[in-house]
Chains A and B, each alone.
Chain A
Amino acid sequence: MADFEPRIVAFVCNWCTYAGADLTGTSRIKYASNVRIVRFPCTGRIDYMLLLKAFAEGADGIIVSGCHPNDCHYTSGNFHARRRWIMFRSLCDFMGIDTRRIKFSWVSAAEGAKWADIVNATVASIRELGPYDDYKRVAKKPVKEVTHG
């Protein structure tokens, strides 16, 4: 467990969180390198199936992030997404999927520091939870501890 490096997939919207993460970089704020960012046009486009695919492909944690309510580039994409997240998260919880491993957040294009905090906090909590072996077993992925740089 000591050399366990969590693998985190972040699903972010192009207009806020992606730009926010960009700001984190240009502000030279250092944050955990365990995250792989996937850019989407809008949180409304982030299909729950994609989150399941991330787990199936061996992710230990997931971050889903987009514009704050009322700030959506497409007016209402994040409101629709929020409704879906509420229901999806309840369903996941009901089926025993570890919802502590899916972090939802609003990060605006001006919140570079918040993005770094979210990633660092997620990595720390996933490090504590350990690899998501339950899901990996179901997905027939190797469950031995994975180390990567």
Chain B
Amino acid sequence: MDDLRKRARELLETSEVKVVIGYEQGTAGKTRALFVEKPEDTDKLIFDSRCVQNLAVYITKREVKDKGKMAIAATLPVMRSIIQLASEFQVNDNNLLVLGITPESKLVEFNSLTEVETFVHQYQIEIDARNKEMLDKLEKMTPSERWKFWTDELAPCFKCYACRAACPMCYCSRCTVDFNQPQWIPVPSHELGNLEWHIMRAIHLTGRCVDCDACYNACPLGIPLNLLTKKMVEEARANFGGYQPAIKGEHLMSTYKPDDKENFIQ
């Protein structure tokens, strides 16, 4: 991605931005996040199919924000996250410049977040075929089979919160799981605490999740916890016509329609 390197260098040389967030070669054949502050370091920037980490997670971090205006190499899910964060007043045009990478791996630069929004709205949030199949399989099971599936899957979880750390939407400075008065969620790796944590995570991401799979990629145990948020994406579509992150849009779960339909309230 020479375009990206070139543009990043220009931005840093002219001091238009203070830091460029991108990917660099990591260890063991993996890529990792890179924060470029000197023009000469832009040569380290790379972009390829291994770059799946959602970099939007860094733009709400104090230590990154404090450097000054940021530029970010953003793939489609990252751009969606940015728009969602903008709608939640976490970023704005004054502190963020988006260097978009299209699904065709082309570099596009956006002058404002509104332009990013227009771009991401060309694409719907789609659940990929493999996960769709998995969701269908689970939905066909009986409730007790699903219960068994999830208690088995969640049993090894030791609540390292890598899923939380990897998620751009989990930016609360104090998360519900960190509270101990009252202790909402038991701290040890315990079936109940694990279950409650994953329910809580899925609910808090309902209507906000952009389906980037960062949580699943971050999980050291490979728990398919992204299925929960995917299910919520599907349910949002089935019940409320779905959602798209939008800067000035209404949030799915903080709004309502007087004629919302359900069939279980007596």
Contacts and interface: CB of A to CB of B under 8 A. Distances in A.
B148 A96 contact: yes
The 8 closest A-B pairs by CB, nearest first: A96-B147, A96-B146, A79-B256, A105-B266, A90-B235, A104-B265, A138-B191, A139-B192
A33 interface: no
A98 B202 CA distance: 18
B232 A82 contact: no
The DSSP consensus for interface residues of chain A is: helix
Interface string B137-151: 011000111111111
Interface in B109-150: 138-139, 143-150
The DSSP consensus for interface residues of chain B is: helix
A94 B256 contact: no
Given A90-B231, A103-B266, A138 B195 contact: yes
B258 A87 contact: no
A76 B258 CA distance: 9
Interface residues of B, number: 44
Nearest to A94: B231
A140 B260 contact: no
16 contacts: A52-B199, A79-B260, A82-B265, A83-B256, A83-B260, A84-B253, A86-B260, A88-B203, A90-B232, A92-B199, A94-B231, A95-B199, A95-B228, A96-B148, A138-B195, A139-B192
Nearest to A48: B203
B239 interface: yes
B264 interface: yes
A95 B256 contact: no
Interface of A: 48-49, 52, 56, 69-70, 76, 79-80, 82-99, 103-106, 118, 134, 138-140
Interface in B179-198: 184, 190-192, 195-196, 198
Interface in B221-265: 228, 231-232, 235-236, 239-240, 252-258, 260, 262, 264-265
A79 B176 CA distance: 24
Contact of A87 (B138, B176, B236): B236
Contacts of B84: none
Interface centre among A56, A82, A96, A104 (most CB of B within 10 A): A96
